[in-house]
Structure 1
Amino acid sequence: MTEIGPVADKVTSYFYALLFVRHPELRALFPAAMDAQRDRLFKALLTAAEHVDDADTLTDYLSHLGRGHRKYGTRPEHYPAVGECLLGALARYAPDTWGPEAEAAWVHAYTAVSQIMIDAAAADESVSPAWWHAEVVSHELRTPDIAVVTVRPDQPYPFLAGQYTTLETPWWPRVWRHYSFASAPRSDGLLSFHVKAVPAGWVSGALVHRARPGDVIRLGPPAGSMTVDHTTDNGLLCLGGGTGIAPIRALVEDVAEHGRRRLMDVFYGARTGSDLYDIDPLLTLARKHPWLSVRPVVATGPVGGEVNSISGQLPDAVRQYGPWRAYDAYLSGPAGMVRSGVDALMGSGMPSERIRHDFIEELVTAGD
C-alpha cells in the first residue's frame, strides 16, 4: 500500500476503467458520476489493511460492507471480476513491489475478504430485504440548509437508537449516503433524519431542497454500534455536533423509554448559537427528566440565553465538567469533532472500550 498511496487516484481510475471495459455488464451497478466511488474504494482498502491484524474488527467491517452491497445489486459472481481488475491495477502501478509473491499474497487476501462479504450478504438475505421503499410524510426546514425528513417504510424496519442507515433519492439513482436515525424506534413505524445540505452534495441537497411529502426514497439496512448498553448503570456522556445531534437525541429517547434513571449528560456543540437547530426539543426533554442534563456549547459569538450554555470548544467543555469515571461516552458529528472528543476523553483517563462512535464507517463512507 505504501507504493500505491501517492498514486491512489490513478490506481482507482484505472481499476474502474479496466472493470467496465472487461465487464461492461457491471457498469449499471455504479452511479453515473464516479468521483466519490473512487475515493471510497481506496479508503476501504486502507481500512482493511490497517486492521489486518485485528480479526474481529476486520470481520465486522467486511461483514458490514457485504450486507450493505446487497442494495447495489452485488452478487457472488461479481467478486472474481472485481478481484481480477484490482490485481491488474495494482500490478500496473506498483512495479517495484509487484511480483509472484506479492500477487499470491493479494490473491489470498482478496479471496478471504470477498468470502467474508459474500457470507455476510447470504446470511442477511435470509432475514432482511436488500432495501426498503419509504414515503416522505413530513419535511420540516429548520434552517436554510437543514431539514428534518420523516418517512414511512413500506414494511417493518428494525433498528436501534444510535444506529444509521443509507438513503437513495429518486433524483440520483445508485448514489447512497449515510444518515443517523433521529429518534428511538416509534410505535407508528416512522423514521426521521436530520439532513444538512452541503456544497456539491447531491443527496443532501435533494433531501433538503427538493424532497416533499409523497416522494419515495430507498433505505438500506441499519448499521452502527453506537447503541446503549442497558445492562449497566453507568452514566451516559453524549457529545453531538451539527446534525450529529440526531442520534444523540435518539439515545436520550431510548434511555427515557427504558425507564431507568441513569445520569445522562449531553453536550451539544455548534459554531454559533443559530446553529443549535435542535436545542428546544432537547431542553424540553431535560425539563421532563431530572436525570438528563443538556449543555449547549457555542464556539464563536454570543452564547445567548440558553440554560447551562457554554462558550468555547466542545472538548474543553467536556474536560471542564469531568471527570467521567462512571460514564460511557457516545460521540457523533464531524470527523474533526469526533477525533478531538476521543482525544479529550482518553486524555482524561476514560478507557477506549467505553467510548462509542462509528468513526471507521464514517471515514470510509463519508460523502455528503
Structure 2
Amino acid sequence: MTSGPLTDREISLVRTSLAVVAPQAAEMTVYFYAILFARYPDVRGLFPQNMDVQRDRLLRGLLRIIDLVDDIDNLVRFCSRLGRDHRKFGALEAHYPAVGECLVAALTRYAGTAWNSEVAAAWTRAYTIAAEVMIAAAADDTRLRPASWDAQIIRNDYRGHGIAEITVQPDLPYHYVAGQYVSMETPWYPRTWRHYSPAHPPRPDHTLTFHVRAVHHGQVSNALVHHAVPGHRVRLGPPLGEMTLAAAGDRDLLLVAGGTGLAPIRALLEQASASGMDRYVDLFVGARTADELYGLDDMLRMSQRHHWLSVRAAVSHEHIPGQRGTLPQVLREFGPWDRHEAFLCGPPDMVTTGVNTLLHQGIRRRHIHHDPLDTPVLTTPLSEHRRGQETDQL
C-alpha cells in the first residue's frame, strides 16, 4: 500500500460527510451507476441486468470501508477479499480510477454544503487506499489460481419439495475444503452470482454436488432446480468460508442444519468419517414438517455406522412426538453445549436464533461457526476483534 493511512482529520471528514448523504443513500447509488455507465459504457458489461441488489451492495461495501478506515489491518483484509472476489466479474486495474471518479462525483452532488475541497481530498485518499489494496490482492491471486472455473452440469436429481441435487464437472480441477461454499453464475442470469455449498468433501474426479432449493421469487434457484439439464454450462467462483473442521480443535462437535443447510454439515460429517475422527458429534436437523426433513434418513444410516454420531430431528409446524419444536428450542432442551464446537447452517433466522441460544448456554463466540448470512464478501468476520460485532448485528 503506497498511500499512508488516513489521518484523524481525514477520517473525521469522510465519516461526517457520509453521515450527511446517508438519508439519500439510495438515490446517490442510482446516480453513481448512471454516471458510471454514461461516462464509461464498457464497464456496464461487468454488472447484472437487474441492478437493484448491486446498488445495495455498493452502499454496504462503502459503509464497511469507512467503518474500517481507523483499523488498517482489517481494512486491508476486507479490501483484499473484495479485490480477489472482483476477479470473477472481470474487473481490471483500469476500472478502479473510473469508479473512484464517479463515486466522488456522486458524493459531491448529494453532500451539498458539507462538501468542499478538503472533504474531496480526504475521500480521494480513502478510495485510493482501498483501490490499491484491491488491485494488489487481485494481482497476487492471479498468480495462484483462475478467476473462475467453467463447469458443465452432468446431473439434476430432483428430490421433491423444491429441492434438487445439481452435480457439475469443472473443466479444471477445483480445490476446496469440506464445509466451504462456492459462488455460481448460470447461463440464464449472466453476472448474477449465488452461493451454494458442496454436500461432500473433495472427490477424486473433482465433481461437485450442490443441494439447491427453489425459493419463492428466486430466479437462479428456480432455473437450476426446474430448467437445468445435463450439458448446461455454469461458472464457479473461488471457494470461500472458514466453517471447516480445522476450526474445531479437539472439542466435541455440535452440528445444526436447517433445510438445504444440511449440505455443508454433511460434508463435514463425511470428512470426519474419512479421517477416522474419535470425538463425539451431535447433529440436529430441522424443518417445518416431517416431509421436509431433507436428508435425515441418510444421516440416521450414518449414525448406525458410527458410534460417535448422534442424530436428532426438530419439526416446528407439525406435531410429532419427540420431534416437536424449532431447532433453537430443541437445542435448549438437550444442552448445555458449552464444551462443544458448534457449526450452524440454514435459513438466516434459524442461524441467528440458534447462535443466541448457544451464547446463552455458555458457548463462547469463538466456538460458534456459521457462514455469512448475507453477501459473503461484505459480511464475513475479519478478525476476533470484529467477530463479536458481526454476530451482534445478525
TM-score by length of 2: 0.86
- 1:223 shift after superposition: 0.8
Distance 1:97 1:334, change over 3 A: farther
| Equivalent position amino acid for 2:364 in 1 | P
CA distance, structure 2, for counterparts of residue 165 and residue 274 of structure 1? 28
Q: Of 156, 172, 176, which residue of structure 2 is paired with 1:155?
A: 172
Residues 138 and 213 in structure 1, CA contact (< 8 A), matched pair in contact too: yes
Residues 40 and 364 in structure 1, CA contact (< 8 A), matched pair in contact too: no
Distance 1:297 1:354, change over 3 A: same
* SS of residue paired to 1:177: strand
* SS of residue paired to 1:3: helix
| Equivalent position amino acid for 1:271 in 2 | R
- 1:106 shift after superposition: 2.2
What is the aligned-residue identity percentage? 48
CA distance, structure 1, for counterparts of residue 318 and residue 248 of structure 2? 41
| Structure 2 residue 142 is matched with structure 1 residue 104 | no
| Structure 2 residue 336 is matched with structure 1 residue 319 | no
Partner of 1:122: 139
Distance 1:362 1:303, change over 3 A: farther
Residues 148 and 235 in structure 2, CA contact (< 8 A), matched pair in contact too: yes
| Structure 2 residue 82 is matched with structure 1 residue 59 | no
Q: Of 7, 31, 45, which residue of structure 1 is paired with 2:62?
A: 45
* SS of residue paired to 1:17: helix
| Structure 2 residue 266 is matched with structure 1 residue 249 | yes
CA distance, structure 1, for counterparts of residue 272 and residue 302 of structure 2? 11
CA distance, structure 2, for counterparts of residue 22 and residue 250 of structure 1? 47
CA distance, structure 1, for counterparts of residue 68 and residue 373 of structure 2? 11
CA distance, structure 2, for counterparts of residue 183 and residue 357 of structure 1? 17
CA distance, structure 1, for counterparts of residue 374 and residue 320 of structure 2? 33
- 1:57 shift after superposition: 4.3
Q: List aligned pairs for 1:75-94, cutoff 5 A.
A: 75-94=92-111
Distance 1:364 1:63, change over 3 A: closer
- Cα deviation digits, residues 188-227 of structure 1 (max 9, x gap): 2110111111233221111111101121111111111111
Partner of 1:70: 87
CA distance, structure 2, for counterparts of residue 164 and residue 227 of structure 1? 10
Residues 64 and 223 in structure 1, CA contact (< 8 A), matched pair in contact too: no
Q: Please, which runs of 5 or more residues in structure 2 have no aligned partner?
A: 1-17, 380-394
CA distance, structure 2, for counterparts of residue 187 and residue 167 of structure 1? 21
- 1:59 shift after superposition: 3.4
Residues 152 and 169 in structure 2, CA contact (< 8 A), matched pair in contact too: yes
| Equivalent position amino acid for 2:123 in 1 | W
* SS of residue paired to 1:229: helix
| Structure 2 residue 45 is matched with structure 1 residue 32 | no
Q: List aligned pairs for 1:88-237, cutoff 5 A.
A: 88-95=105-112, 97-229=114-246, 232-237=249-254
Residues 248 and 341 in structure 2, CA contact (< 8 A), matched pair in contact too: no
- 1:7 shift after superposition: 2.5
| Equivalent position amino acid for 1:255 in 2 | A
Residues 339 and 363 in structure 2, CA contact (< 8 A), matched pair in contact too: no
CA distance, structure 2, for counterparts of residue 234 and residue 214 of structure 1? 43
- 1:184 shift after superposition: 1.0
CA distance, structure 1, for counterparts of residue 326 and residue 174 of structure 2? 37
CA distance, structure 2, for counterparts of residue 294 and residue 3 of structure 1? 52
Partner of 1:310: 323
TM-score by length of 1: 0.92
| Equivalent position amino acid for 2:358 in 1 | L
| Structure 2 residue 366 is matched with structure 1 residue 353 | yes
CA distance, structure 2, for counterparts of residue 4 and residue 73 of structure 1? 30
- 1:167 shift after superposition: 0.6
- 1:54 shift after superposition: 4.7
CA distance, structure 2, for counterparts of residue 235 and residue 7 of structure 1? 49
- Cα deviation digits, residues 301-342 of structure 1 (max 9, x gap): 1337xxxx5311222221221222221111212222222122
CA distance, structure 2, for counterparts of residue 364 and residue 220 of structure 1? 12
* SS of residue paired to 2:194: strand
* SS of residue paired to 2:313: strand
Partner of 1:17: 34
CA distance, structure 2, for counterparts of residue 337 and residue 175 of structure 1? 26
| Structure 2 residue 24 is matched with structure 1 residue 7 | yes
Residues 272 and 303 in structure 1, CA contact (< 8 A), matched pair in contact too: no
CA distance, structure 2, for counterparts of residue 60 and residue 361 of structure 1? 18
| Equivalent position amino acid for 2:171 in 1 | D
Task: Indicate the RMSD between aligned Cα atoms, in angstroms.
Answer: 2.1
Mean CA deviation greater in 19-28 or 283-292: 283-292
